Amino acid sequence: MIRNLLFDLGGVIMDIKKDNCVEAFRQLGLPDTSAFFGDYGQKGPFAQIEEGMITVDEFHAYVKALIPAPATDAEIDAAFMKFLIGIPVERLRELQRLRAAGYGIYLLSNTNPIMWHAKIAEEFRKDGLQIGDYFDGIVTSFEAKALKPKARIFEYAISHLGIDPAETLFLDDSQANLDGAAALGFQTALVPDGAEFADILRKRLG
């Protein structure tokens, strides 16, 4: 029985486009920009800030050291947030419907404090609510100090959220992340590029 729905953010709830971010950093002068951004994860300081291993100030300093031309903190943040496109309001309302139907609704995201406290928070406010109004619990990688698909972040989620993985369906756009969750007993569902999680859940939940 599925009692809980555990959502990834980027690629499931929020639309993203890595290439926009890569191009923005290329314009700032970051060399070999694409080397820092994988299909489902970042590298270097971009991964370190998502894993909570460095602070925002340290991240800015690391990136400035990589860029030959001067760049401000605001310019770096603006380039980083080009990764995010936005959340259609209908997806926000679908989360509310699922919660009203009695499911525990949770979020598990590889993200960073720069995006989390700015663009992500802003997108969740667009229908008049706050991000916490949509979820019974939230786990971010920078707070858990672990990244999907590592077992540690799923163990943290089980403990922090108080959920039984056997009763929890985890939705993600990365098969590697789903495999990591399945190894700890979660039920899983892939949300392919261009798919809507609502359609997948209607088929899965009936």
Same domain for 107 and 62, yes or no, is: no
- Mean pLDDT, consecutive 10-residue stretches, the chain (206 aa), reads 97 96 94 81 91 98 94 97 97 98 98 97 97 98 97 98 98 97 98 96 92
Task: Identify the domain boundary among 61, 83, 105.
Answer: 83
Strand 84-86 to 15-16 pairing: antiparallel
pLDDT value of position 39: 67
Environment class of 88 (CB within 10 Å of its CB; exposed 0-12, middle 13-18, buried 19+) = middle
d(CA 37, CA 206): 37
Same domain for 35 and 105, yes or no, is: no
Residue 152: give its domain's CATH number.
3.40.50.1000
pLDDT value of position 40: 65
Task: Identify the domain boundary among 83, 103, 123.
Answer: 83
pLDDT value of position 178: 98
Residue of 8, 127, 133, 136 marked catalytic: 8
Say how many Å lie between the first and final Cα of the chain, rounded. Answer: 12
CA count, 13 A, side-chain hemisphere, 169 = 18
Count of domains forming the chain: 2
CA–centroid distance for 91 within its chain = 15
Task: Identify the domain boundary among 33, 65, 83.
Answer: 83
pLDDT value of position 34: 81
pLDDT value of position 120: 98
d(CA 70, CA 65): 9
3-state SS of 4-35 is EEEECCECCCEEECHHHHHHHHHHHCCCCHHH
Dihedral of the alpha carbons of 193, 9, 98, 1, in degrees to the nearest 10 = 80
Q: Is 8 one of the catalytic residues? A: yes
pTM for the whole structure:
0.95
pLDDT value of position 142: 98
d(CA 63, CA 76): 8
pLDDT value of position 37: 85
